[in-house]
Structure 1
Amino acid sequence: MRQIPLLDVREGGPIAHAAARVAAALALRDACLAPMPRWGHVCLAPVDRLARAWLRKSASRYFEDLERIAEILGFHGAATLNMSYLFACTTQAFVDPFGAPTIRRSLDWPFRGLGRGVEIAWAAGPAGGFYNVTWPGAVGVLTAMAPGRFSAVINQAPMRRRVDGAAGFPYDFALNLTNALKNETGWPPDHLLRYAFETCATFEEAVTLLSREPLARPALFTLTGTRPHEIALIERTERDAEVLRGPVIVANDWQDPRSGWRGRMGPENNEARRALMRQTPAGAESFAWAIPPVLNHTTRLVVEMTSARDDGLAARGYECAPWRHLPEPATADFRLCDGAAAIAA
């Protein structure tokens, strides 16, 4: 079973990561795009240009990173895959039996290859180092842990709906995307989270930053610090934020439903995943919660992490064969406490 590599990219960041892992990035691209028809591959170049044009006018500070990574990788799709948005996730933030605020997190994405291709990037910024659970060629941060500071993840937020029923879904989806591309100039959520890890020295600084900065799309940020009371969920729209304190379970909906929004995956699915997490004891064995319905055919990654310990990160990748209903582990469990040796990028 494949080992999840740990790469030291404290000098050079995602650009150094991409340069060191070009072959891995190409394999990941091919796996993600394999189900796409041939005509879809032809569309990658113009879609890349659209994604890059939008990122250039956004608040992100990482446009040049993406440009350099696309140049290094030398294939169409780098910008498109970076600007695509995660499908669904389940997150739990709680205090473990030893008093450490902890995050359990699954990431569901229909792209194949993400479970097999996951890597840990040991990155750094002015505020210190952090471990980013990521992929070669990725610019932003979806799941990361900074020892002694904070841990954080992103869940996809509910969808803004104007027309009820399944027939209205394509209309609302297209309108939301068009509005984001034409009118929104805020941060892509994963870019803002990277900026938080690079520049925020404390849990509270990160909560303030993620609550304040304008976003290009709604997002759910879950954070934990190093002390038991340092747990927060930030429910974000493009301009507004609601900060909820204390242990929380997050699917793909607001904690309290709001008019005009529909939770991703539907209320039954979201509640079923939350119910499983509620039933899992704080002291349960590692990844005991990674079972249906949290584990499903699109699950690509599960992570457990706490910033209260220097070695508080564990990860496992999943892949699902086309003929199977549930994925199977595609990687051996990664644990910092196992003394994993970093590869110099």
Structure 2
Amino acid sequence: MNPIPFLDVRDGGPVAHAQARVDAAVALRDACLGVVAPLGRFCLSPIDRVAANWLRRSGSAYRAELEHVAAILGFPGAMTLNMSYLFACTTQAYEGVDGLPRIRRTLDWPFHGLGRAVEIAWQSGPAGDFYNATWPGAVGVLSAMAPGRFCAVINQAPMQRRTSSVLGFPYDAAVNLRNALKSEGDWPPDHLLRYAFETCETFEEAVRLIAREPLSRPTLFTLAGVKRGEMALIERTEREARIIRGPVIVANDWQEPRPGWQARMNQENNEHRKAAMHKVTPDAPLFSWVETPVLNKLTRLAVEMRSAGAGDLVARGYECPYLRGEPLAATEDFHLRAATPTALAA
């Protein structure tokens, strides 16, 4: 099993991360994109241009930074991978045996290589430091913890449907993509979450920011603070937000289904994953809850974290669980309390 790298990029952020890990980013690109990677100039460059044009019209504070990262990496696909969207996740915000809020989460993505390539980046902003479970070349935040402030994760929200038939699915998907690409001044969800970690000093500030800012596509944000009861799910559409307070289990649907929306994966799958998490006790051993159906062939990352006190984050990467009946392949567990960051070259 490979250890998860831990990099101190408080000075330089994702740009410094990319500069230090170009070879790892290339390996990740090749693993994710497979046979398409050698044909990148023809297959990926046009998609990169579409993603770059959309990013320039977005409300992101990291447009120039992502362009810089893509230039450092110097290969087609860097922009495409950054602007792709996670497939499915399972999240639980709960109170530990000490009564303080915590988050458990898995991230499911169809890209191979993400489990082996996950890294922990020690980043910083005006509001303080935070620890980001990420990948070299990535600019946004999907799962992170800020000691003494909050931890937060993203799940993919349901898909808006305008038709009700299976045949209408491609049409609805195309319209949703077109609308996202045509949007102007809206935040990519992972960029907004990073902005919250960099600028929000408290849990409540982060909740208000994420509920307020215009968003490029519907997203589920789960946050946990440092005090009893500081837990919230923010169900976002592009312009509206519904805030649900308290312990919560999140899959890939609204907590209360709404007409005109279709759950990602499928409703039965979401309910099975949520039911499995309901059975997990607050004192369950680390990652003992990462089992079928929460664990599946697309699972790439599992994280447990809390922000109270000095904070705590434990992560594990996964690749090809149960392939041909064999045990899953996993990285060595990363535990923040025992980790020493890798020194970056000057």
1:128-277 equivalence runs, <5 A = 128-277=128-277
Q: Is the 8 A contact 1:295 1:326 kept in 2?
A: no
How does 1:59-138 map onto structure 2 within 5 Å? 59-138=59-138
Paired AA for residue 215 in structure 2: L
**d(CA) in 2 for partners of 1:102 and 1:324?**
34
- Per the alignment, residue 291 of structure 1 pairs with 291
- Contact persistence 1:161–1:262 (CA under 8 A): yes
For 2:125 and 2:141, the matched residues in 1 are separated by 13
Contact 2:296–2:321 under 8 Å retained in 1: no
1:283 partner amino acid: D
Q: Deviations over 1:248-268 (max 9, x none)?
A: 000000000001001101110
User: Deviations for 1:115-146, whole angstroms, at most 9, x for unmatched residues?
Assistant: 00000000000000000000000010000000
With structure 2 as the length reference, what TM-score do the two structures score? Answer: 0.96
The 3-state SS of whatever aligns with 2:32 is helix
In structure 1, the residue matched to 2:19 is: 19
Query: What value does the CA root-mean-square deviation take over the aligned residues?
Result: 1.5
For 2:77, give the aligned amino acid.
Answer: G
1:164 shift after superposition: 1.2
Q: Which runs of 5+ in 1 are unaligned?
A: none
- Paired amino acid for 2:110: P
Query: Which letter maps to 1:246?
Result: G
Q: Secondary structure at the match of 1:133?
A: strand
Q: Secondary structure at the match of 1:304?
A: strand
Q: Secondary structure of the equivalent of 1:70?
A: helix
| TM-superposed deviation, 1:39 | 5.9
1:93/1:101 contact within 8 Å kept? yes
Change (3 A) 1:322 1:64: farther
Distance in 1 (CA, whole Å) between partners of 2:327 and 2:109 is 12
CA distance in 2, matches of 1:207, 1:37: 39
Flag the 1:303–1:171 CA change in 2: closer, same or farther, 3 A: same
Aligned-partner Cα distance in 1 for 2:266–2:254 = 12
| Secondary structure, aligned partner of 1:313 | strand
Cα distance in 1 for partners of 2:12, 2:234 equals: 30
State whether residues 296 and 327 of structure 1, in contact with CA within 8 Å, keep that contact through their aligned partners in structure 2.
no
Contact residue 9 and residue 344 of structure 1 kept, 8 A: no
Aligned length, in residue pairs = 344
Call closer, same or farther: CA 1:112–1:129 in 2, change over 3 Å. Answer: same
Cα distance between partner residues in 2 of 1:29 and 1:322: 24
SS of 1:91's equivalent in the other structure is strand
Matching residue of 1:342: 341
Q: Map of 1:307-322 to 2, 5 A cutoff?
A: 307-320=307-320
> Percent of aligned positions with the same letter in both sequences?
65
C-alpha contact 1:92 1:104 (8 A) present in aligned 2: yes
Are 1:6 and 1:121, in contact at CA under 8 Å, matched by a contact in 2? Answer: yes
Paired residue for 1:55? 55
Alignment deviations for residues 203-243 of structure 1 (CA, whole Å, 9 cap, x no partner): 00000000000000000000000011100000000000000
| 8 Å Cα contact 1:105/1:302 also seen in 2 | yes
User: Taking structure 1 as the reference length, what is the TM-score of the superposition?
Assistant: 0.97
Q: State the shift of 1:66 in Å.
A: 0.8
**Partner SS state of residue 163, structure 2:** coil
Q: What CA distance in whole angstroms lies between the structure 1 residues aligned with 2:9 and 2:181?
A: 31
For structure 2, the 5+ residue unaligned runs are none
Aligned residue for 1:265, secondary structure, equals coil
Q: Deviations over 1:132-174 (max 9, x none)?
A: 0000000100000000000000000000001113221111111
Q: In structure 1, how many angstroms separate the alpha carbons of the residues matched to 2:325 and 2:295? A: 10
Q: Is the 8 A contact 2:9 2:17 kept in 1?
A: yes
Secondary structure of 2:50's aligned partner: helix
**Aligned pair in 2 of structure 1 residues 160, 184: CA closer, same or farther (>3 Å)?**
farther
Distance 1:321 1:266, change over 3 A: closer
Distance 1:39 1:52 in 2: 19
Supply the distance in 1 between the matched residues of 2:165 and 2:320 (Cα, whole angstroms). Answer: 30
Cα shift at 1:36: 4.0
Residue-by-residue CA offset, 1:158-213 (whole Å, 9 max, x unaligned): 00001113221111111100111013530000000000000000000000000000
The alignment partner of 2:124 has SS state of strand
The one-letter code matched in structure 1 to 2:96 is: D
